[in-house]
Amino acid sequence: MELRQLRYLSSVARHGSFTLAAQELHVAQPAVSQQVRRLEQELGVELLSRTTRRVLVTEAGEIALARASRILADVDALRAEIDELHGLLRGTLALGTLPAVGALDPAPLLARFRERHPGVDIRLIETTLAETLDLLRAGRLDLCFAFSRPEGAGEGIAGEQLFDEELAAMVAPGHPLAGRKRVSVAALADEPLVAPIAGASLRLALHEALSAAGASLHVAYESNEASTVRALTAQGLGVSVLPRSFATTPGPRLVAVPIVPKLPRIPVSVLYREGRTRPPAVEAFLAEVREELSADRR
């Protein structure tokens, strides 16, 4: 069994494709197929189920991937620690991300980190909270940002709450609610809601906040892209309930209308696997996040 076989298996499983894995690994596609097949032969089980459209991970493959993720993380951590002795910072940073919210804007933060540490390979994913947490537990993500408190993220997950955000009703400038000084939760019940998809971190936080206020809104449009939620709202197709800071971020203009009674503020946290020693590259990024938010408060 070789480390490259574990890396190839992990990449194919992540992409669901031998071709995409080969592109990521900068090797020929037949070499990836050959090494994964050799690993299967050595273990005596099928790890990947090949179909004409997609490669799926078998039950045995899931077991192998969980172990492979831990082994590769330890190897990467060892290499990073040795590099650190020589004044280098290398390795990977696999991050579950969010759109810009409040003082946290992942894009320029990552750009500055990349400029300071060009030897670190950065990988991003934006999906539902449940899938993100599963990837964290499996060691396929190092960190993720989420609209969730660390203590509510479930077994095996720890983290730090960075700040919290006020929720407001967002409408197009020409919307009838745009001229209001405030809008009641009851009035919002009559409006079509533009929302993130079910299972998204923000959608779960929004549901929790509305439930605490005894409200239930009708979702007319939903998307996993914050830019799409904003665009649909700006076109007057409905109302969205979003962190108030979304009204001032770049994009189509929205008007933020305070909601009464006030909904509970929603948390913004960085989450990671509990008890895992984080490689230097991951610790360096965490330090950048803390520094960025600390500077914003000054």
pTM (two decimals): 0.68
Residue where a domain terminates, one of 53, 88, 123? 88
State the residue range of the domain holding 211: 167-264
pLDDT of the residue at 86: 52
Considering the domain boundaries, does residue 121 fall inside one? Answer: no
Considering the domain boundaries, does residue 291 fall inside one? Answer: no
Cα–Cα distance for residue pair 295/70, rounded to 1 Å? 35
Considering the domain boundaries, does residue 64 fall inside one? Answer: yes
Q: Tally the domains of the chain.
A: 2
List the CATH number of the domain containing 81.
1.10.10.10
Considering the domain boundaries, does residue 103 fall inside one? Answer: no
User: What pLDDT digit, counting tens, does each position of 55-101 carry?
Assistant: 888 999 899 989 888 888 888 777 777 766 555 467 788 999 888 88
| Element spanning 246, H or E | none
Q: Residue 188: pLDDT band by 50, 70, 90 thresholds?
A: confident
User: What pLDDT digit, counting tens, does each position of 149-165 carry?
Assistant: 999 888 899 999 999 99
List the CATH number of the domain containing 215.
3.40.190.290
Residue where a domain terminates, one of 88, 111, 134? 88
Considering the domain boundaries, does residue 78 fall inside one? Answer: yes
Considering the domain boundaries, does residue 63 fall inside one? Answer: yes
Cα–Cα distance for residue pair 178/176, rounded to 1 Å? 6
Residue where a domain terminates, one of 25, 57, 88? 88
E strands within the chain? Answer: 48-50, 55-57, 91-96, 120-125, 143-146, 157-165, 167-171, 183-184, 193-196, 219-223, 240-243, 255-257, 259-260, 266-273
Q: What sign for the dihedral angle of Cα 219, 222, 225, 228? A: negative
User: What pLDDT digit, counting tens, does each position of 202-227 carry?
Assistant: 888 888 888 887 777 788 999 988 88
